[in-house]
Amino acid sequence: MKKLFISILFLLSASAVVDAQEKKNDISVMYGLGSLHYLCENEGGIPLYTHIKTGALSVQYIRRINRILGYGGIMVFEKIGKDEFYPGTRGGDNYGVSASRTDCVFSLMPVLRSNWVHTKYFNLYNKIGLGAAFVSEKYKADDKSLNLPDKRESVFEPAYQFTLLGLDFGSERIHAAVELGFGSQGLGVLGVKYKF
């Protein structure tokens, strides 16, 4: 019994030493398409033509608590252009009035990550983040004959990211990352991670 107890203590201490030598922090620079703000924007049934100006650019920091859980934060910036078409009449003829709109979205979220498979060179994980987004909206009417005013608005909105499947792989310090999920970072996200 004593030998078994000593063996268990030895294995636990050896695994703790190996875990202490692994890198516990990573910082990522990522690019995503199909973000929450891009997909869900349609105000009051106004027809929109939405186009991407930057995509979702994000910086993420994660600190591992143990081999399974990690926590950190994500900052996301995205610029989206939209053309809005308003029905109107002039001299009895129906025609569409268009306005250009540019949204700048800055999101900040704390995040929790769960590793399913964790090695020095390969990780399979999912994550969840919930925070707030600051959205600056700038409107500019293309048809000046109707005297629609140019305007700016700023609003706060909820921001979140649910990553259903994340995969990173590479060397001991540098990893490539691919994520599939839904939220402020996008449906599909690619990036580079530096572990330290």
In a domain, 24, yes or no: no
pLDDT at residue 46 tops 80: no
Model pLDDT for residues 13-25, shown as the tens digit of each residue: 554 444 556 789 9
pLDDT at residue 48, rounded to an integer = 59
Instruction: State both tokens at 64.
Output: 């591992």
Q: 87 lies in a domain? A: no
Can you give the pLDDT at residue 134? 96
Reference 30, options 192, 194, 195, 196; nearest CA is 192
Give the chain's end-to-end CA distance (angstroms, integer).
40
Looking at per-residue pLDDT, the higher value among 55 and 69 belongs to: 69
Kindly tell me if the per-residue pLDDT of 189 is higher than 60.
yes
Mean pLDDT of the chain: 82
Query: Amino acid identity of 12?
Result: L
Per-residue model confidence as pLDDT tens digits over 108-133: 999 999 999 988 899 999 999 999 99
Mean pLDDT within 123-148: 84
CATH of the domain at 184: 2.40.160
Assess if residue 64 is contained within a domain.
Answer: yes
- Is 144 part of a structural domain of the chain? no
pLDDT at 145: 62
Question: Is 0.85 surpassed by the pTM of this model?
Answer: no
Phi, psi of 14 (to 5 degrees): -65, -40
Residue 52 placed within a domain: yes
Residue 14 forms part of a structural domain = no
Domain that holds residue 129: 32-80+104-135+152-195
Residue 186 lies inside a defined structural domain of this protein: yes
Q: Per-residue pLDDT for 153 more than 80?
A: yes
What are 36's strand-pairing partners?
none
What domain count does the chain have? Answer: 1
Q: Is residue 48 part of a domain?
A: yes
The answer to whether the beta carbons of residues 24 and 16 sit under 8 Å apart is: no
At 59-101, the pLDDT tens digits run 999 999 999 999 999 999 999 887 766 665 454 444 555 777 7
